[in-house]
Chains A and B, each alone.
Chain A
Amino acid sequence: MATAAKAKSAASRGNQARAPAATVADLLGCYRDMLLIRRFEERAGQMYGMGLIGGFCHLYIGQEAVVVGMQHALAPDDVMITSYRDHGHTLARGMDPKRVMAELTGRRDGYSRGKGGSMHMFSRAKNFYGGHGIVGAQVPIGAGIALSMKYQGSKNVSAVYFGEGAANQGQVFETFNMASLWKLPVIFVVENNMYAMGTAVTRAKAGSDFYLRGAPFGIPGEQVDGMDVLAVKAAGVRAVAHCRSGAGPILLEMRTYRYRGHSMSDPGKYRTRDEITKVRSEKDAIENVRALLLASGQVNEDALKEIDREIKAIVADAAEFAQNSPEPDPAELFTDVMVA
């Protein structure tokens, strides 16, 4: 069993050693999508500081390549589901930044009409199923969505995101078992950002790497440089093809890094500033794509600046919209508890 897993991992590592050549259009798309998340999250951080956003607020800054690369591999009618660190996922799914920000400010135009907040955003129209606050709970739910897809005879897949912290929850293993047993079309995406809140991965994980954790259940795994959007996309394309073929689930471990604290109230004493600076300067996903675009010779600084301006405007509009949207009507307190 272990041998098989190793063989598989070696093969997959070989696959992703060199990301396939991407077109400039692809790169520009990724650049734009990642930048939107980065700028949006920076603004969300500011607005939290100003007291416009309350409660918990978990920023996605640093991890943008994971969700954007995967999004470029998924089809619109595939489903995505994730944890509480979900702002980036909503934006990648094409949800409206204005309404995402309005949910963060708890206003009536938010995706959950102000009742969910940062951790609980959903869009049935965009096949985004949340936004779940209990670590690991979204994993069986995502597999259940895959069960429904299979039951209804669709060829869609369910992309289930969870952190390496959640990967230690018992229900994740329970889900691996059933997803493999029933050949459910699930892509398990472990976003390994190296810290489960303040606990470094080395202090929380025994045994093999996360991408091998599906091996005992017969789930192939692949370790991916989650700071390289093209590598992520390539792995995503392979994973989607695997699932659509009816071969059952697949596991992708994305090696990534979060620049900000776990939440806004994280003093960050568990790692050094140098560590963050080093990753930022050497591995930053957005800077990498920017360099590739400039190196292509087909895009110049001015073109990129123009994109920056566009994104800034989108984020400014979102922030303005979110502050001007009214609070929910008091009558909303008792709506949406049950479907009539």
Chain B
Amino acid sequence: MPIEILMPALSPTMTEGTVARWLKKEGERVSAGDVLAEIETDKATMELEAADEGVLSQILVPEGSHGVTVNSVLALLQTEDGNGQKTMSAPHVRPPVSIPAAPAPRPVAKAVPPPPAQRTYAGPTKTQTVREALRDAMAEEMRRDPKVLLIGEEVAEYQGAYKVSQGLLEEFGAERVVDTPITEQGFAGIAVGAAMHGLRPVVEFMTFNFALQAMDQIINSAAKTLYMSGGQINCPIVFRGPNGAAARVAAQHSQCFASWYAHVPGLSVVAPYSAADAKGLLKSAIRNSNPVIFLENEILYGRSFEVPTEGDHLVPIGQAAVLREGNHVTVATFSIMVAHALTAAERLAKEGISVEVIDLRTIRPLDVATLVASVRKTNHLVSVEEGWPACGIGAELSALMMEHAFDDLDAPVVRVAGADVPLPYAANLEKLALPQVEQIIAAIRTVLARG
């Protein structure tokens, strides 16, 4: 029996990829270590090496095939002794930021079904991933204002650890797309100083987990100096990068920081879900004359949405969006949890339960008016967030309802949040720790039953 060469998982969130090119032909003899093919993920192009010696007897997935799921059989390798076994094709060279995982027996994260609701726009649109929309936002703003620059680890030559800054170095050069050493506190502080002196830096943190190293510069320097200087020294800066859990990257790489930053006066905190909002909000953030924390989500990077193509697509900071109208209950959420909330709403609609889904989009300042108007109509609120429950966004929403909509509530607010533990690695435990659609549905049933 020949050896099966499988589609490898090349990053924690990869579920499928493209077979870009076969470098060996059918019938060709290969040695262990030979590059068989190039596999393109949404983050990078990687080489697939042979792990065994033999003859490439059959190519099952031709080059140019898109959407090839992890663990699909790509080709067969006939070995001398004929002993067949599945091979671990070793992915090699230029790994993306996340260490390539060996092919898992089961795909780790089943792709969440496409969002059931999509905003509609009056003008023309095009389909774009969140990743492309973010890149376009930066490119447009860099074309518009020479004082805008991008600074961070791997943003230039590597084209972005998550490929968000792809093409920017080529267009804007190394002065404006600045690779830094691995030195978060240092480069965050340098960017803060540059902002105080008149530039408009966009700081990319490879993930917001690493921004903990830079927290002092973000809070004590960027957020407070305008006040401490009696209004003299402002800090027009954007700190952006993926926030929250990706997939199977364990506790130190999987934290949602929304409530941490939302606590701080002097900061705006933005966490978009769709590509259109990611673009419009990032453009607004770059034009804002204050520090903005821009929380992205790794899993959302590859999702596609319609993005307006006409004119300057700006989404104002501080405005929530009602993504789905409903009458029975309001679900308020942000970032990737919007997808879960929309799925939950879709399922409950079949039972006649009408769910209004609000994408907060901005966490600070919260759009209290939109929330209150919705709760006045539905009289029930469920908050959904990936972060921990204690002092979280749900706690804040709950308190806001006490202050602004107490008499409109038919039942106490119900919070859905991540489990109050460091995020575990094991697939089953990770799933248990992160809010799932089922939990949101259960929370909605609970709040309606209490009403």
Which residues of A line the B interface, CB within 8 A?
79, 81, 110-116, 120, 122-124, 129-134, 137, 139-149, 151-152, 170-171, 174-175, 177-178, 181, 335-339
Contact = CB atoms under 8 A, between A and B. Distances in A.
B193 A120 contact: no
A126 to B, nearest CB: 10
A159 B187 CA distance: 18
Interface of B: 149, 175, 180-181, 183, 185-199, 216-217, 220-221, 225-234, 236, 265-266, 268, 289-290
A111 B190 CA distance: 24
Contacts of A115: 227-228, 230
Given A338-B266, A339-B289, A339-B290, A144 B233 contact: no
Nearest to B291: A338
Given A112-B228, A149-B197, A339-B290, A177 B189 contact: no
B194 A139 contact: no
B76 to A, nearest CB: 50
B183 A174 contact: yes
Contact of B197 (A79, A116, A177): A79
Contacts of A132: 221
Contacts of A174: 181, 183, 185-187, 189
A181 B268 CA distance: 32
A89 B181 CA distance: 32
A129 B233 contact: yes
Contact of A178 (B187, B195, B236, B290): B187
B189 A175 contact: yes
B131 to A, nearest CB: 27
B9 to A, nearest CB: 34
B193 A336 contact: no
B286 to A, nearest CB: 14
A147 B229 contact: no
Contact of A338 (B228, B229, B230, B290): B290
Contacts of A148: 193-194, 197-199
Nearest to B198: A148
Nearest to B151: A147
25 contacts: A79-B197, A116-B228, A124-B232, A134-B220, A137-B221, A139-B189, A140-B190, A141-B193, A141-B221, A144-B189, A146-B193, A147-B193, A147-B194, A151-B149, A170-B185, A171-B217, A174-B183, A174-B186, A177-B186, A336-B229, A337-B227, A337-B266, A338-B226, A338-B268, A339-B290
B74 to A, nearest CB: 42
Contacts of B196: 129, 141, 144-145
B220 to A, nearest CB: 5
A144 B183 contact: no
A171 B221 CA distance: 14
A177 B186 CA distance: 9
Nearest to A121: B229
Contacts of B199: 147-148, 151-152
A122 B149 contact: no
A175 B190 CA distance: 8
The list of the 10 closest CB pairs from A to B, nearest first, reads A144-B193, A140-B189, A174-B186, A113-B230, A141-B193, A112-B230, A148-B197, A122-B229, A144-B190, A120-B228
B229 A178 contact: no
B226 A130 contact: no
A79 B193 CA distance: 11
A244 to B, nearest CB: 17
Nearest to A119: B228
